[in-house]
Chain A
């Protein structure tokens, strides 16, 4: 175990009423990462998060957070971890501030007033913190829940679909908040989502889960790089046939559509390809990506094609 591995999950399984809903999940989250946990709705993300936070007990396998077993050393884990499971759960008959105080009183350490104010400021709720939570928008509730999570100065925060149901500006604010926490506070963030774009925007690492099974794990950039995409190349119409033949002879998956050349390749192959064509006196005027490869990939793995 490296000291940097802040979460170690090994062979995690969960059965409810005899039906196995999580199969053999293993992964590691390193300190400082924003770790994406990606899967369609109903794939077992929330169940896994409930196990990570000790709300439900795993049937087998182990969960270690900061070196502590979640079942045996629950309190020690929770001193370092905050989580927002599913939608933010707040007392809407209280003000935002009273909701924060609920968290403060629950802790076994003293929390400085300056720190509380910083929490409120970080989530940009200073102006409305004394209003009743029932008047808050979903985005504000989610931000208040994050302020609650920050009260205990945790090493790791687990966020379950933090932008679910928000409007575009709310989503944008939430994403920049998550990035800020990771960058400025060095908080490790474990983030679940059913949206690939969210993971692409935010995460370093990703685990894709489908029907309770781990499908892929790896760094997001590797995943993007290792996937072929479809690109369309615009060349001089008189040279289109020549370009097509040259690429075809180089064992690339290539088609001709009107005067455009359609190539299926990895992103990192493009410079070589352009260079190669240039050497043959063929000029590439424009390159367009035809599809979002990772999105297709995600759909294909989660629909059981791969």
Chain B
């Protein structure tokens, strides 16, 4: 019964051409990135990567000596220098070559912060609100499946499609980089770690990154479904969800002034960046960011089920 209901939701997403839109956007971005990459000559790899790194380390050291040791900038710069030194010491090229190197860029950054959330809004925002406003929700309510299963089926369907969208995008990023950069080596090393630095193969880094992105997807889907339940019109639901994504981007630059902002889930989307220590926010850690995301997810799911199963349905 639940499996049937999940299938129903997937059929609806397909017939509404929602899947086509999502795939279209992903393909558009992949092509855009390919074109940018093609014209970007600066990415041409230098044979000797160590020399510029040595100069960079020296410059950083000079700069650090001028900084106040208590300032957050000092800590930031020391971290960067340590990483550079680690790379030199352990012979890890910071620029991973080939398509495998391009693929690692997809587990953090722009895609996770903006593109994926927008895709999830497209998939999720009308999943409850849309059916409430056109009335089709009532025919589902008046069936033996029960309200918690209805919501669960929608949640599962949305998660499946979102994960699919992420994997589709990652694979496309990888494939589209092959013509220019070659295959690359999944065993190349990458430096990870927040406090203590380590070098791990990039396939391992990819797996960790994808796992963290899974948390992001679960949280985003849960929050957007809650919004879709609370606001019965599609327009309100979509606008609010998009606002959330946009505000997340704006607020992250203000976190230096208001530390509390780090507890907002929407500023923690780029959780995968913690792996390489490139996370936007300060005074936070992978553990804290994951906790914020998971807590938000649990609260959203709880509220969604509480509202959806108890509320009078006046559709």
Q: Which residues of A contact B (CB under 8 A)?
A: 16, 50, 53-57, 74-76, 78-79, 81-87, 89-91, 93-94, 98, 101-108, 145, 148, 152
Residues in A with CB closer than 8 Å to B314 are 50, 55-56
Alpha-carbon separation in the docked complex, A299 to B94 (Å): 85
Residues in B with CB closer than 8 Å to A104 are 4
Residues in A with CB closer than 8 Å to B142 are 53-55, 78, 81-83, 85
A50-B314, A56-B313, A108-B1 known; A79-B144 Cβ under 8 A: yes
Alpha-carbon separation in the docked complex, A152 to B7 (Å): 18
Q: Which of A74, A76, A79, A89 contacts B138 (CB 8 A)?
A: A89
A78 x B144 contact (CB < 8 A): yes
Residues in A with CB closer than 8 Å to B137 are 89
Given contacts A55-B312, A74-B146, 17 further A-B contacts (CB under 8 A): A50-B312, A50-B313, A54-B141, A55-B138, A55-B313, A74-B144, A78-B143, A85-B142, A87-B135, A89-B135, A91-B136, A93-B15, A98-B11, A105-B5, A107-B1, A108-B144, A145-B139
Shortest CB-to-CB span from A156 to chain B, Å, is 12
Residues in A with CB closer than 8 Å to B136 are 89-91
The yes or no answer to B31 lying at the interface (CB within 8 A) is no
Residues in B with CB closer than 8 Å to A107 are 1, 4, 143-144
A90-B136, A108-B1 known; A102-B8 Cβ under 8 A: yes
Alpha-carbon separation in the docked complex, A101 to B10 (Å): 13
Residues in A with CB closer than 8 Å to B138 are 55, 85-86, 89
Secondary structure at the A interface, as helix, strand, loop or mixed, is mixed
The yes or no answer to B140 lying at the interface (CB within 8 A) is yes
B139 x A93 contact (CB < 8 A): no
Alpha-carbon separation in the docked complex, A93 to B131 (Å): 13
Q: Which residues of B contact A (CB under 8 A)?
A: 1, 4-5, 7-8, 11-12, 15-16, 134-146, 312-315
Minimal Cβ-Cβ distance residue in A for B134: A89
A56-B312, A108-B1 known; A102-B141 Cβ under 8 A: no
Residues in A with CB closer than 8 Å to B134 are 89
Residues in B with CB closer than 8 Å to A94 are 11-12, 15
A105 x B141 contact (CB < 8 A): no
Alpha-carbon separation in the docked complex, A269 to B136 (Å): 51
Minimal Cβ-Cβ distance residue in B for A77: B144
Alpha-carbon separation in the docked complex, A207 to B139 (Å): 25
Shortest CB-to-CB span from B148 to chain A, Å, is 11
Number of cross-chain contacts by CB at 8 Å: 86
B8 x A105 contact (CB < 8 A): yes
Minimal Cβ-Cβ distance residue in B for A132: B15
B141 x A106 contact (CB < 8 A): no
Minimal Cβ-Cβ distance residue in B for A87: B135
Residues in B with CB closer than 8 Å to A103 are 139, 143
Alpha-carbon separation in the docked complex, A214 to B56 (Å): 86
Alpha-carbon separation in the docked complex, A142 to B146 (Å): 24
Q: List 7 A-B contacts (CB under 8 A).
A: A53-B141, A54-B142, A56-B313, A83-B142, A94-B15, A105-B4, A108-B144
Shortest CB-to-CB span from A305 to chain B, Å, is 32
Alpha-carbon separation in the docked complex, A84 to B313 (Å): 14
Cβ-closest 7 pairs across A and B? A105-B4, A89-B135, A56-B312, A78-B144, A108-B1, A55-B313, A89-B136
Residues in B with CB closer than 8 Å to A75 are 144-146
Alpha-carbon separation in the docked complex, A89 to B130 (Å): 12
Residues in B with CB closer than 8 Å to A16 are 312
Shortest CB-to-CB span from A30 to chain B, Å, is 22
Minimal Cβ-Cβ distance residue in A for B136: A89
Minimal Cβ-Cβ distance residue in A for B141: A55
Shortest CB-to-CB span from A15 to chain B, Å, is 11
A106 x B313 contact (CB < 8 A): no
Residues in B with CB closer than 8 Å to A101 are 11
Residues in B with CB closer than 8 Å to A148 are 139
Alpha-carbon separation in the docked complex, A285 to B144 (Å): 60
Alpha-carbon separation in the docked complex, A79 to B142 (Å): 10
B312 x A106 contact (CB < 8 A): no
Alpha-carbon separation in the docked complex, A74 to B144 (Å): 7
Minimal Cβ-Cβ distance residue in A for B135: A89
Shortest CB-to-CB span from B147 to chain A, Å, is 8
Alpha-carbon separation in the docked complex, A152 to B144 (Å): 10
Residues in A with CB closer than 8 Å to B16 are 93
Residues in A with CB closer than 8 Å to B11 are 94, 98, 101-102
Minimal Cβ-Cβ distance residue in A for B17: A93
Minimal Cβ-Cβ distance residue in B for A52: B142
Residues in B with CB closer than 8 Å to A57 are 312
Residues in B with CB closer than 8 Å to A91 are 12, 15, 136
Alpha-carbon separation in the docked complex, A130 to B16 (Å): 17
Residues in A with CB closer than 8 Å to B12 are 91, 94, 102
Minimal Cβ-Cβ distance residue in B for A47: B314
Alpha-carbon separation in the docked complex, A104 to B1 (Å): 9
